Amino acid sequence: MPGSPSWAPAASTREYGRYSDMRTRNGAGHSSLHAAVTALLDLSELTADPRVLAGAVAAKFKDLVQVDRCAVFLRSAADEYRVGSWAGRRDYTSHLRGMVNGHDPFTREILERREPVVIRDSRTDPRVAQHLETTLRCDVRSMVGVPVVFGGQPSAIVYLDDEGTPTRFSDVQLDTAQEFAALCGLLLGRRREDTRSASRPPADSPRNLELATENLGRLAQRGATLGEFASAVAATLHRPVAILDSAWREVATARPPQGLRRPVGRLSDPLVRAHPRVAEALRHVATGETRTLPPLPPVGLDLRCLITPIPLGASPWGQIVVHEAGRPFDEFDRQIAGNAALRIGLSLSTAHLVATTPAELREALVGDLLCGRVANDTLDRRLEIAGIADGPHLVGVFSTLSSKTAADQGRRILDRLAPDGSALSTEIDGQLVGLIPLPPGATDGADTVEDLRGAVDAHTRRGADGEPSVIGVSSPVTGLRHIAKAYREARHVVGTLRRFANPRLPRVVTAGDIGGGLMFVSSADPADMETLVQEQLGELRNTRHARLLATLRTFLRTGTVIRCGHVLGVHENTVRYRLAKIEELTGLSVVGNPDAQMRASLALLVLRLRGDCEWHDPAA
């Protein structure tokens, strides 16, 4: 046929006679056509809803042409064709909702020829190659596309197939389809003006836009949560909505009360964002442009997406993503999404008046958390806005043994510890303070501390510039509401390290490593600490009493004579003899005497910090 591609089948379907493995069916007679049209006319008198009429058309098409399935794609104002109804044993159109036909080779050929066009094998035919993923999901093998024309213009396209079965469509079937399509064109064309959905008022109504904008403005003024913004946009547009921060973390989602319930695809997935077409669109979004993504079923995006950046200073804070469920996008959608983005940006900027970028917003919140300046009733909203996940955390304070700063070293160590950027930091009083999240299920933070030590060692092996950093780490807290307490604890740890200035101590020291004597060693006068050591330990500091000192240390750690002997590998009577000798030399009777145990523990802690004995108990 003139104008057809070289690989296209001839107009005559008799060419398919040589495919003997395909099923052949006969079409309906003219009496059946007449009855079908009469039934549709009767239905059109009862309803003007184009989707109800399209559903009836699909059912009649399926029965007349004698196939398993039929899908009717209706034409939008933008000359795009989207699925409007279906008929078959089961609803297979969930995979078709994101398809935008009208520009692919198969649809173009249907529209150009204005007659049925056959695909004998959808898995190999290049005309449907861009929809291969969808045809495989729907189990389409052979199919025929039929244009529904009214007034010289196509108003719909009908796709017919037998589920999972190659079919040889007969001339009678194709003639029946073409004749019925012509009659349906008259019916659907007559109702064309009624095709606007009644789900919301027309998009070009200034009053509707004004009301929606006023509602978004009220949300911004009262400091609404991002979830409330998402719900308002979803209810206004009758579409699923997601709000993502600058790291593409999904911080709020919403769906309309009566709307699509199946998954719509997630731009928070790095594999989705890595797709070339997605990556290209997101590059424009990063510069502040609004972009529309086409459906990409291979990566799970079955619907078109309208992506609008949320402004905050010189760079977007994040983006609001609207999924095209149902009717096609129009100017009303773009205006509402744009207004919502502006109002969210306004709300974000007032959350902390000095923050003008997403990074500054997070850093400001971290500083407020550490200094206890966040009220409990506003914490959740500020965490949501900053994109910070609540949960168990450690606090680490990065410093040096002198007055030099370790901020740059600290940032590099945190980057190595948490490449995903989950460890946040800020500078307070010249020291870098890091919020280090614990992995899911972790409670004691031991593994995270070991990872931190590994990051410090790796940084040191790379030849770190400047004076080596020391890091004071807090005990873990269950949530960010308690982070100010953890910061005070970590600050006491690093202050203790700087007071004793012992370069032989570990680079990473936790509050648990120091124990209950932390407040004493971080604040007591050095002369008082020396007096304590002399009075409590006396002769035990002599190297010839090293075994006795080790026994005392292990006993204080284990708590009983029996456990102490087990750890040291000696008989319990040997432990009792050594403890008696300690009492003879120092006057300390530590068995069953909590006060003596506390004084001995503090004296031993001072020795450890000064380097007069090993930091870790060798018997541990």
Distances from the Cα of 187 to the Cα of 83, 148, 181, 582, angstroms: 18, 10, 10, 106
Model pLDDT, residue 151? 67
Q: What is the pLDDT of residue 131?
A: 82
Specify the pTM: 0.54
SS3 state of residue 256: coil
**Domain 358-520 maps to which CATH number in 3.30.70, 3.40.1350, 3.40.720, 2.60.40?**
3.30.70
Spatial separation of the C-alpha atoms in residues 614 and 604, rounded to whole Å: 10
pLDDT (0 to 100) of residue 249 = 86
| pLDDT number for residue 18 | 34
Angle at 455 between CA 250 and CA 489, to 5 degrees: 80
At 558 the three-state DSSP class reads: helix
Same CATH fold assignment for domains 13-194 and 206-351: yes
Q: Which CATH architecture fits 206-351? A: 2-Layer Sandwich (3.30)
Helix (H, G, I), strand (E, B), or coil: what is residue 407? helix
* C-alpha span between 569 and 586 (Å, rounded): 25
Q: What pLDDT score was predicted for residue 373? A: 80
Taking the chain (620 residues) in runs of 10, the rounded mean pLDDT of each run is 38 36 50 67 62 81 90 79 82 70 86 92 89 85 90 85 91 87 72 45 62 82 83 90 88 78 77 90 89 83 88 80 85 89 77 59 83 78 79 93 81 89 86 92 87 87 72 94 94 93 92 93 90 90 88 93 94 95 91 92 93 82
What fold characterizes domain 526-610?
Arc Repressor Mutant, subunit A (1.10.10)
- Which option is the CATH number for 13-194: 3.40.50.620, 3.30.450.40, 3.40.720.10, 3.30.980.10? 3.30.450.40
Q: How far apart are CA 315 and CA 309, in angstroms?
A: 9
Neighbours of 289 (CB within 10 A): 13
Instruction: Collapse the DSSP code of 143 into the 3-class scheme (helix H, G, I; strand E, B; otherwise coil) and give the result.
Output: strand
pLDDT at 357: 65
Domain ranges for the chain: 13-194, 206-351, 358-520, 526-610
User: How many residues would you count in the chain?
Assistant: 620
DSSP strands (E only) in 58-108: 69-75, 81-87
Say if CB 386 and CB 421 are below 8 A apart: no
Which residues, 6 or more positions from 66, have their beta carbon under 8 angstroms from its beta carbon?
A: 25, 26, 27, 28, 173
Of 121, 124, 127, 129, nearest to 164 by C-alpha is 121
CA distance 92 to 71: 9
